[in-house]
Amino acid sequence: MLPWSLRSAARRLAAATRAAASSAVAARSPAPAPATWQQRPPAVDDDREHQQRAAVWDDHRRRPRRSEFSCTTKASGDHSSLTRQLLDFKHDTVDEVDGGYDPFSQLKARFTDFKQRNYVENFTNYQKLAEQQTPEFMVVACADSRVCPTSILGLQPGDAFTVRNVANLVPPYEHGASETTAALEFAVNSLQVPNVLVVGHSRCGGIQALMSMKSKKDDRSSRTFIRDWVSLGKSARLSTEAAAGNLSFESQCRHCEKESINSSLLNLLTYPWIEERVKEGNLNLHGGYYNFIDCTFEKWTLVYRPGLEGGSKYAIKNRSTWS
């Protein structure tokens, strides 16, 4: 066994050798990257201050940076994470624009103008609307950007419960659930609106798609969401072909635009709770046609006579043109 002095010297020599080796490795290694919000800071003392600082660091690491918010949010099944991100920024009032055209700039200006000219000046009315709604109309209109029933008919908040879809179609009752049928059910059964108005219009792309469909069974390879939806107006297309099949395609579309409105009015009566209210006289069904070429509006009301023997159960009344 080595004397104590020699053993001590050996230990000092080994320690010096290890230190030299560590220095050499450190010299060859790249400098550590500066800490970012994506990295937790190295552990320091275990005192309370440093623990709190580490917790705050972790919280910031989990949150996306505002400048990266729009590009780092990924679609996932956990939609609640998107809501949490919105809540994180709910107090922000500064608009961030990456540069160039901002499509919301005009909308913001219009909203602030609406708030000052409408909401503030009619504050009492808007407070009543905040408690409940009692609209006079349920409106079914086309999703076409040129056909806004609120602008065309001057509707104010609370006047009409509105749903818009391609070609302003009302599916028959047996079609089942859709956003249109759900809106009808709520408007008629819950809000008990006294009037349903179906508004069609000129140069409707949905009607053009309907009239472009082949009379024979369509090739399944050509099916799209639009074709499947507008096929609900097949009866209107067939009626148009029978009545105006010798006319130009444009004329046939114009005829079908009105034919499909009447078809939708008849489809409304396939809903038991709509038919019941119509028979009781508590609900009226109306058609409207907006021609944005010459800015005219046609309006008519459907008459339903379920107990009539012989002849048609349906008729048109109160037809007028506004120009």
Closest CA to 159 of 105, 195, 211, 184: 195
Is 204 one of the annotated binding-site residues? Answer: yes
How far apart are the C-alpha atoms of 160 and 142, rounded to whole Å? 15
How far apart are the C-alpha atoms of 60 and 66, rounded to whole Å? 11
Backbone angles phi, psi at 164, to 5 degrees: -125, 140
How far apart are the C-alpha atoms of 218 and 20, rounded to whole Å? 82
The beta strand positions in the chain, using DSSP E, are 137-142, 160-165, 195-201, 284-291, 296-304, 314-322
**Dihedral angle computed from the Cα positions of residues 44, 48, 51 and 56, in that order, rounded to the nearest 10 degrees:** -130
Q: In what order do the strands lie in the sheet with 195-201?
A: 160-165, 137-142, 195-201, 284-291, 296-304, 314-322
Q: How many CA atoms lie within 13 A of 279 on its CB side?
A: 13
Is 144 one of the annotated binding-site residues? Answer: yes
Per the annotation, binding residues are 142, 144, 201, 204
Per the annotation, binding residues for Zn(2+) are 142, 144, 201, 204
